[in-house]
Amino acid sequence: MRTITELNTIPEFEDRFQYLMLRGVVGRPTFGHERWLNQKFYTSREWRNLRNYVIARDNGCDLAIPGHEIHAKLIIHHMNPMEVTDIRHGNDDIFDPEYLITTTLRTHNAIHFGDERQLPMPFVERRAGDTKLW
């Protein structure tokens, strides 16, 4: 099982991504016709409180790495994919911050689909004369 404790021993963003990558398949349903369970879970008071805790713990940074602040919509990612049975049977792991991490939407999608091209590009500071019109 992937954990935040283990993830925090990995210093580089790309290496953290490799640790979390699921290599999923685009279009493969995770909840199918039981999507309502997933939606009910993510709108619960317990989840919203936990979500706020994880964001604060990670300082609002992508994969909890300082310097990778998230300035738009962020997602709390279950490092170990959640299944219908986890919600139905009340698996405590889905509410354990040890198995959660803050990500951007792009990083979240890259983790699920195993596509590094979806990762956010690092900021490059522009300087005078570093570009030409043609």
36-53 tens-digit pLDDT: 888 899 999 999 999 999
Give me the pLDDT at residue 115, please. 78
Give me the pLDDT at residue 63, please. 97
Query: What gap in Å lies between CA 105 and CA 112, rounded to an integer?
Result: 11
Strands 74-78 and 100-104: antiparallel
Mean residue pLDDT of the chain comes to: 88
Grade residue 34 by pLDDT with cuts at 50, 70 and 90: confident
> By three-state DSSP, how is residue 75 classified?
strand
pTM of the model: 0.83
Q: Could you count the other beta carbons within 10 Å of the beta carbon of residue 107?
A: 25
> By three-state DSSP, how is residue 48 classified?
helix
Q: Could you count the other beta carbons within 10 Å of the beta carbon of residue 79?
A: 19
